Amino acid sequence: MGDTPQINQSRISGEPAAARKKAPFYLTLWGQVLIGVALAIVYGYFFPKSAVKMKPLGDGFIRLITMVITVVIFCTVVTGIAGMENLKKVGRIGGKALLYFEIVSTLALLTGMVVGNVMHPGAGFNVDAATLNAKSVESYAGASKSLTVPEFLMNIIPTTMVNAFAQGNILQVLLVAVLVGFALSMAGQKAKIIVDFVDALTQVVFKIINMMMWTASIGAFGAMAFTVGQYGIASLGPLGKFIALFWITSTLFVFVVMGLIAWAAGFNIVKFLLYIKEEIIVVLATSSSDPALPTLMEKMEKLGCSKSLVGLVVPTGYTFNTDGSSLYMTMAALFVAQATNIHLTLGQQFTIFGVAVLTSKGASGVSGAAFIALVATLMVVPTIPVAGMALVVGIDRFMSMFRAVVNMIGNGVATLVVARWENELDVETLRKNMA
């Protein structure tokens, strides 16, 4: 029992190796998760029917983390805003973050469109859209009906403050947190006791999450075993080319586009990826970026970003900074059009692009959200039949793995960029912890 806190601290802390005793590979979080993923792939390949039954392990781990996500977001945003020197600074940082999110996610949409036009991933399928099983997309179409612009904006406002937390709606929780944070900031010293309470609650919630992360390897095993057992590599067939193209495009986007952004901000993208390797492995295995949010925030602070800035930028980025989802949406739209022999003019492609700019903003955190957002896009722009999405619904789990990872990495990079932009990044601490 006496060794457990030390092991846990080395797993989560993200401190430089020189500052702590290096734990054996199998006792580190990323090591245990990697072992769990490797075992899951073998198990899913040789015992697919049994592996499919492991799904509750992955779902249970994700639910454990999402159970406290809204509390984490509320506490960090409230303390972040209340901890700022003035409200103008809150607006300035929020404005810079949203500007960055919009530029990079739009660049991702354009990248997906360019790759789709150059590589033609859907060419040669010659599928008649009328023969596709539209029922497989109906549930997604139903979920996407609320994604029209006016309803999307109205959905940000909860019926009650408590309801925002009960439904787990991140946008609604963000709105409540921003209002409470501004109110506490304006109240000044009179509200100090409440700010201290929220700050203490934040520490308690993060301790709970650290305990939950002990089960990450089990959750990763269950999620990956289900994915391999349910779908299998052999069952992908000709769609494997599209999956490989998306994975390669996502990887290049991280190393080239985000790499250049990181270089301009004064840090190395490869070192940053190694620093958050635990989060990358967990997100890949579970196909959801939610489990990485709390520990990512901790690690951003340990890199030298101010607590208030991290509390404002990271949670906001989970909704508005959807680089991986944006890459997928334009690539998948072009794939479906090419597979069903529908020729899209440049004007039609930019119409899809314009609608995707709006619908992609709700596509983060939850596995499959980008698929729903793409269905919503095609419903607004009926050039491509929505039934065509039946072509890719079966491989969405494999696509969501990389979507979620790119989304998460993008939020980490964005936090460091905005912190550097605001001169709130301790460069010495950054270099020391990334070494």
**How many angstroms separate the CA atoms of 91 and 316, rounded?**
13
CA geometry: angle at 202 spanning 197 and 207, to 5°?
125
Report yes or no: 398 and 243 within 8 Å, Cβ to Cβ: yes
pLDDT band per the 50, 70, 90 thresholds, residue 268:
very high
Higher local confidence (pLDDT), 377 or 140: 377
Average pLDDT over residues 83-105: 85
Q: Does position 216 have pLDDT exceeding 80, yes or no? A: yes
Average pLDDT over residues 34-62: 88
Q: Could you give the C-alpha distances from 200 to 72, 75, 316, 428, in angstroms and in order?
A: 12, 9, 22, 28
Residue 40 neighbours by CB distance under 10 Å: 26
Residue partners of 59: CB distance under 8 A and separation at least 6: 222, 223
Q: What percent of the chain has pLDDT over 70?
A: 86
pLDDT band per the 50, 70, 90 thresholds, residue 8:
very low
Average pLDDT over residues 116-133: 81
- AA identity, residue 234: A
Instruction: Identify the pLDDT of residue 2.
Output: 40
Task: Give the CATH number of the domain where residue 139 resides.
Answer: 1.10.3860.10
Nearest in space to 243 (alpha carbons), one of 139, 360, 122: 122
State the chain's maximal CA–CA distance in angstroms. 68
Structural domain span for residue 384:
4-434
pLDDT band per the 50, 70, 90 thresholds, residue 280:
very high
Report yes or no: 288 and 366 within 8 Å, Cβ to Cβ: yes
**How many angstroms separate the CA atoms of 151 and 122, rounded?**
33
Instruction: Identify the pLDDT of residue 119.
Output: 93
> Which residue matches tokens 């999620």?
223
Instruction: Identify the pLDDT of residue 145.
Output: 54
Average pLDDT over residues 255-273: 94
Say if residue 264 is exposed, middle or buried (CB neighbours under 10 Å; 0-12, 13-18, 19+): exposed
Task: Give the pair of three-digit tokens for residue 22.
Answer: 């290096």
**How many angstroms separate the CA atoms of 368 and 217, rounded?**
22
> Which residue matches tokens 């983390």?
65
Instruction: Identify the pLDDT of residue 34.
Output: 87
Average pLDDT over residues 144-165: 72
**SS in 3 state form for the chain?**
CCCHHHHHHHHHCCCCHHHCCCCCHHHCHHHHHHHHHHHHHHHHHHCHHHHHCCHHHHHHHHHHHHHHHHHHHHHHHHHHHHCCCCHHHHHHHHHHHHHHHHHHHHHHHHHHHHHHHHHCCCCCCCCCHHHCCCHHHHHHHHHHHHHCHHHHHHCCCCCCHHHHHHHCCHHHHHHHHHHHHHHHHHHHHHHHHHHHHHHHHHHHHHHHHHHHHHHHHHHHHHHHHHHHHHCCCHHHHHHHHHHHHHHHHHHHHHHHHHHHHHHHHCCCHHHHHHHCHHHHHHHHHHCCCHHHHHHHHHHHHHCCECHHHHHHHHHHHHHHCCHHHHHHHHHHHHHHHHHCCCCCCHHHHHHHHHHHHHHHHHCCCCCCHHHHHHHHHHHHCCCCCHHHHHHCHHHHHHHHHHHHHHHHHHHHHHHHHHHHHCCCECHHHHHHHHC
Task: Give the pair of three-digit tokens for residue 44.
Answer: 């899913």
Instruction: Identify the pLDDT of residue 96.
Output: 92
The listed range with the strongest mean pLDDT (69-83, 218-232, 265-279) is 265-279
Instruction: Identify the pLDDT of residue 76.
Output: 85
Residue partners of 315: CB distance under 8 A and separation at least 6: 72, 73, 76, 77, 170, 174, 177, 293
pLDDT band per the 50, 70, 90 thresholds, residue 59:
confident
Rg of the chain over all Cα atoms, to the nearest angstrom: 22
pLDDT band per the 50, 70, 90 thresholds, residue 37:
confident
Q: What percent of the chain has pLDDT over 90?
A: 23
Nearest in space to 173 (alpha carbons), one of 279, 318, 359: 318
Q: Does position 190 have pLDDT exceeding 60, yes or no? A: yes
Query: What's the structural domain count of the chain?
Result: 1
Model confidence pLDDT, tens digit, residues 316-332: 888 788 899 999 999 99
